[in-house]
Structure 1
Amino acid sequence: MVFNSAHKKSVIYLTLIVLLLSPGVALKAHANDIRILAPRAKIDPVYDYFIELTRLVLSKSEHLYPKSKLVFVAHDDVTQGRSLMLLEDNYVDILWTGTNARRELRYLPVRIPLFRGLLGYRVLLIRQEDKEKFLQIKAPEQLKKLNACQGAHWPDSDILEANGYLVSRVVHFNAMFKMLAKKRCDYFPRAIFEGYAEQRITMQKYPNVILMDELILHYNFPIYYFVEKNNTVLAKRLDSGLKTALDDGSLMNLMRTHRVSKHLFPLEKWQGKRYFELSNDILGSDLSLKNQQFWLNLKAQ
């Protein structure tokens, strides 16, 4: 059955309305509540890091703003594209996601990378039996012959394709692990802080999926807080809290001690890896790139 674009949009909005009116959805009880999405999937170990970071950031300015608390909005594995629709329609107040020029025009970004640029360092989830094949890859042209699983709405998919890589775009996050295990794609690039935890979680269900960090894809790709376009008060609070956390060292301390990122340290151990550099032209004129205080360079440690 073929749907026209207007029908597709109506179906999406009807789905969201049913979702948000269903039991268990957390809406604002108080005007100062800050609403965020509950975990998007069973395989989402990085979610807890961003919750702790958000609480840390808000704590840096709590003396300047009315008392508030985080409220978690339940959902049925909402995709990244639909998550942004929820932000635009004022069902949630904060999202953290990778940026691109379109998102920065439509929403209000807080231009400080939440993982200091490490979102753009991508290790590879692969099948155990393919490990030797990947170890023999010495040039990008070899990897470009293989097929990567990536999210349908992820800017990563656009970046990979713009650099000549083959991509299978997948709507649902959990499905990518199954596709990899069942040989429907060859590898699944994950951020350096995501892949290890996700592989540990999925190994019981997909024991043939392993992580390879000898080869790393790299492109400039920050993950930002986004708020609704007119919510300048919240954006200012997040910006101030992040800068304070950077200046006083508490952001780096969270990265060093949190279970999802502590394995990255010491950073010097990443110097000897093979890196394939990709350009990211979808950033536009990203101001955060000019402030080196915000970024970590694993190759230069």
Structure 2
Amino acid sequence: MRGRWRMLAVLLAAVITGAAAPLSAQASAAAPAAREVRFPGRGEPGDHRFDFSAELLVLVLQRAGGGWDVRVVEAMAQPQALQAARDGDVDVVALPSLASERSRLIVVRKPLRRGLLGMRLLLARPPDADRLMRIESLETLKRDFVMGYGDTWMDREVLADLGFRLSTGSSYPGLFDMLRAGRFDYLHRGINELEPELADARLAGRDLAVVPGIALFYPLDDYFHVTPRRPELAQAIERGFKRALGDGSYAALFNRHFEAAMRDAKLQERSIIHVSGYPVPPGTPLEDFDVLGLVRSTAVFNPPSINAPR
């Protein structure tokens, strides 16, 4: 697992910069020694939900000026990743924006996917998909159907407080098996998550269907959260993120990961149901949660001219 993630980071560095040398070799040319950045790759073998976050971290640190060596370490669930960053055992974690207010970490308030994580499609057994697509309101969904959810996912209690009926599981792949077995009625999945899940027969790619015609939306995405022991790293991530947004490299990475998924979701043909009451922490840059604008645009995300400093 660790080797796969390390190779992913190195390959991304070569693709984005157009260089053939590994990331650590490039960094050594800019500084006497690369500064290590430990980033937990949450997930299990074959789980690609967090590839984008790891690649984006490499990108923004390159745009910040280099001299950083990103090392993806062992997988962690969200609560464990949060505590590991507090303790300084890892340097950066990708956690939901909802967690920022109480995380006690340094938060870089840039949604990693422009809010795409909060654009949710429903996954169900085929006999239930027709019933779900005919719901008349969010209240009907809450009243008549049970949602499956991970028991360590950080907004589980929020959704319960909003009135969703939940059945939880401790295993990510196990949730899909629970859905097949009828333990609950549906999972809702971020568009950024669903494409690889549908391609995997262990997960959504067998005997399950995406409910047509509807989608849920609430202002949720991940931020980079940095251990309080590395304030200079948080400053570099913020600086590099701004440059990547300005020079088009963020747009290129976003489109490579999500353009096909957004197109295949056919969001323009869906009724988007807003989940009212979902909490928004103070300081949330809602103008950056602009995925609804991306859906309505003819291009997924139009990069500006490449004129920002490197």
Query: What does the per-residue CA deviation read over 1:18-41, in whole Å, with 9 as the maximum and x for residues that have no partner?
Result: xxxxxxxx9xxx882111113421
Match of 2:128? 130
**Which residue identity lines up with residue 48 of structure 1 in the other structure?**
D
The offset of 1:103, in angstroms, is 5.0
Match of 1:17? none
The offset of 1:87, in angstroms, is 1.3
Moved over 3 A (4+): 101-105, 202-206, 264-269, 298-301
Match of 1:47? 50
Query: What does the per-residue CA deviation read over 1:185-219, in whole Å, with 9 as the maximum and x for residues that have no partner?
Result: 11111111111211221357862122235211111
Cα distance, 1:213–1:162 mapped onto 2, change above 3 Å: farther
Match of 1:12? none
The offset of 1:84, in angstroms, is 1.2
Identity %, equivalent residues: 27
The offset of 1:169, in angstroms, is 2.8
Match of 2:291? 296
Contact 1:108 1:230 in 2 (8 A): no
Contact 2:100 2:281 in 1 (8 A): no
The offset of 1:137, in angstroms, is 1.6
Contact 1:178 1:206 in 2 (8 A): no
**Which residue identity lines up with residue 34 of structure 1 in the other structure?**
V
Contact 1:125 1:195 in 2 (8 A): no
Contact 2:215 2:271 in 1 (8 A): yes
Instruction: Return 5+ residue gaps in structure 2 as ranges.
Output: 1-5, 7-32, 298-310
Contact 1:125 1:209 in 2 (8 A): yes
SS at 1:115 equivalent: coil
Cα distance, 1:175–1:139 mapped onto 2, change above 3 Å: same
Give me the TM-score of the superposition, normalised by structure 2. 0.76
| 1: CA distance, partners of 2:271 / 2:277 | 19
Contact 2:145 2:185 in 1 (8 A): yes
Q: How does 1:244-255 map to 2 (within 5 A)?
A: 244-255=243-254
Instruction: Return 5+ residue gaps in structure 1 as ranges.
Output: 1-25
Match of 1:173? 172
Q: How many residue pairs were aligned? A: 265
| 1: CA distance, partners of 2:229 / 2:164 | 37
Q: Does 1:156 align with 2:155?
A: yes
Say what the alpha-carbon RMSD is for the aligned residues. Answer: 2.7
Give me the TM-score of the superposition, normalised by structure 1. 0.79
The offset of 1:265, in angstroms, is 4.8
Cα distance, 1:39–1:162 mapped onto 2, change above 3 Å: closer
183-192 or 123-132, which moves further after superposition?
123-132
Query: What does the per-residue CA deviation read over 1:92-145, in whole Å, with 9 as the maximum and x for residues that have no partner?
Result: 111112122565442221100000011111111211222211222222122112
SS at 2:213 equivalent: strand
Match of 2:109? 111
**Which residue identity lines up with residue 159 of structure 2 in the other structure?**
L
